[in-house]
Amino acid sequence: MSKLHALFQSGIDLDVEPSASHQEDQVTEAAAVKPGPSAENLWENQDGRKDFFIEKDGERFAGTHLIVDLWEAKGLDDLDYVEDTLRECVEAAGATLLHIHLHHFTPNDGISGVAVLAESHISIHSWPENGYAALDVFMCGAAEPHKAVEVLEARFKPSRIDVGEHRRGRGL
């Protein structure tokens, strides 16, 4: 991604329009959107609006939020590799990608960004000089966030991975 394009996406210099190829990418991504979560997770609330919740172990909640720490991980300074990994995470989890935005920092080459999903998001913040990355994987509906963690482990090859799980919106 060009520096100008990254600035545009972050809201800096809003007079600059994205390139035609970027606009085509957005259309392509939108056209590739898969159907949403399965019908068994479709709930109608008291206002008649349909929402996707999860029912598991007798509990109803909005989504599963995984907090993931990778230690002694590889590839954390490679923007294209990180983007490809996030795309693979989305696919493995059965989620729907809406947009990815990543920023490459200097001088340490860390990367911060987010994959925005119809089912929520995956975010990453990396410190390649320490081999460390902090990720959030939050998904609702029929998406399977733990499958994204399997991809993170396979791609970044950490010596250690810590995963915490929180059920968001319990009791909805």
Q: Would you please indicate which residues are annotated as catalytic (active-site) residues?
A: 120, 125, 140
132: tokens are 């460390």
Which is it for the CA torsion 10, 165, 144, 133, positive or negative?
positive
Rounded distance between C-alpha atoms, residue 24 and residue 16, angstroms: 17
Q: For the chain, what's the residue count?
A: 172
Instruction: Read off the DSSP letter of residue 130.
Output: G
111: tokens are 């990367």
